[in-house]
Copies of this chain bind each other. A is one copy, B any other.
Amino acid sequence: MTNEKMVTAITSMEDDFAKWYTDIVKKADLIDYSSVRGCMILRPYGYAIWELIQKQLDERFKATGHENVYMPMFIPESLLQKEKDHVEGFAPEVAWVTHGGDEKLSERLCVRPTSETLFCEHYANIVQSYRDLPKLYNQWCSVVRWEKTTRPFLRSLEFLWQEGHTVHATAEEAEKETIQQLNEYADFCEKVLAMPVIKGQKTDKEKFAGAHSTYTIESLMHDGKALQSGTSHNFGDGFAKAFGIQYTDKNNKLQYVHETSWGVSTRLIGGLIMVHSDNDGLVLPPKVAPIQAIIIPIMQHKEGVLDKAEEIKNELSKICRVRIDSSDKSPGWKYSEYEMKGVPIRIEIGPRDIEKNQAVLVRRDTREKITANLSNITEEISNLLCKIQRELLEKALKHRKSKTSKANNMTEFKEILETNQGFIKAMWCGSEECENAVKEETGATARCVPFEQEHIGDTCVCCQKPAKKMVIWGKAY
């Protein structure tokens, strides 16, 4: 049975990476466009991936004491303006509601681009004493940012995300929470999405509007571009002062709370695609694959084939998300279809296999074919899913390593971008001038000051004055 490729082929990533990406999101049935500019429809297969991400993240948040809430989607203009840096950062990109029915509103409402201001107002209402602290809230919702240019999952007018917002008695506790949640994200990306990330701090120029410090996880895509995959912010007491969030401490003295926020979004799905997929379509790590194994019956009209396929499905459904495709399409068509959709394991079962009490397993990621004995198919599949999950991470780590370079000066920096675009480690003096100069000359930005610092030289890659930190630079989505 040959692989008929009846599913329309997609653009190869070497020919046109951007086109390859949009081909995959469309042809793997992840999204569809709508008549609303820059807003995408998450189709069942795409949404199922988000549900798996959401479920596993939500369990992690709850395990560390976080509680879910739901805040209004509208923010009155006056409330948005309460924290100066925050409104400056967000006002240019919000959608404004000006009318309710036929009536003009006395005050405009923006559709939330993020909900710091609403959480602050609420915390000011409900926090009185040290006994009320900490409050560890999270919300799952959609937010809107009025972007000029959009790309599915990576940058859209509306997107789904979670935003955690916490308040604490002390600066130390807030910092601890900020780092804890960043570590949670990093662990989730590696263990669940098989997507390695670099943890670090954003420079002042790149930090969140209103934050004291912003931490980030940065991942590297196939094309050598960086993707900011999640952020965690420590607000210090800036918002608390703007919104008057105070508590009486054990000595009966009024104190300001310390606040954090952190979020990841459907952008993670964009990351997944650009880290694992190939020219035949999507490749999904088993832990977020809506279908982990697809059974394709061969010569299914022959007696016993469909029965055996059903039997295997029932057995496997105890340990994984498995389906059987017994439609009247040809096996070759089905092979291409589920390759496009990134199903980790294909199980082929035909009359000759049944005779030999076996099935043929085909890995989506490596195309390796494995003949498996039906007597212990459950164990085989279970082990193979673990193996695929692990090897996808290894492969991504290897890719990142091959695309990570060191630069001592701007000549080297530019050469790397031309020959092997990826992460560039280079020393930095700490001035925003040099940060701007690098961006202007190369298009690369400071992705982060990584927690794991290396000493790769004494002088700034840009000005050659004494260096303070090592920065990871890269062109970014």
Contact = CB atoms under 8 A, between A and B. Distances in A.
Contacts of A160: 70
Interface string A52-92: 00000000000000011111111110010000000000011
Contact of A36 (B43, B47, B68, B74): B74
Given A48-B68, A158-B73, A146 B101 contact: yes
Interface stretch (A120-128, A274-282, A318-326): A120-128
Contacts of A338: none
A408 interface: no
Contacts of A146: 100-101
Nearest to A39: B72
A440 to B, nearest CB: 25
A109 interface: yes
The contact size tier of chain A is 35 or more
B98 A69 contact: no
A72 B32 contact: no
A121 B41 CA distance: 11
A34 B71 contact: yes
Contacts of A70: 41-42, 47, 50, 142, 160
A466 interface: no
A40 interface: yes
A75 B109 CA distance: 17
Nearest to A328: B131
Contact of A47 (B69, B76, B93, B102): B69
Interface centre among A40, A73, A99, A100 (most CB of B within 10 A): A100
A36 B76 contact: yes
A262 interface: no
A35 B40 CA distance: 30
Contacts of A94: 100-101
Contacts of A91: 101
Count identical subunits in the complex: 2
B32 A44 contact: no
A35 B100 contact: no
Contacts of A354: none
A157 B97 CA distance: 13
A309 to B, nearest CB: 20
A46 B74 CA distance: 20
Contacts of A125: 32
Given A36-B109, A102-B92, A137-B44, A73 B122 contact: no
A144 interface: yes
A96 interface: yes
Nearest to A72: B39
A118 interface: yes
A141 B50 CA distance: 14
Contacts of A98: 96-99
A40 B142 CA distance: 17
Contact of A41 (B39, B50, B69, B79): B69
A74 B121 contact: no
A410 to B, nearest CB: 35
Given A40-B72, A73-B144, A34 B121 contact: yes
A146 B74 CA distance: 12
A258 B160 CA distance: 30
Interface of A: 32, 34-36, 39-44, 47-48, 50-51, 67-76, 79, 91-102, 109, 111, 118, 121-122, 125-126, 137, 141-142, 144, 146, 157-158, 160
18 contacts: A34-B71, A34-B121, A36-B72, A39-B73, A40-B72, A41-B118, A42-B69, A44-B67, A44-B68, A50-B70, A51-B68, A73-B73, A73-B144, A74-B158, A91-B101, A94-B100, A111-B111, A141-B142
Nearest first, the 8 A-B pairs at minimum CB distance are A39-B72, A44-B67, A100-B146, A42-B70, A96-B99, A36-B72, A98-B98, A101-B146
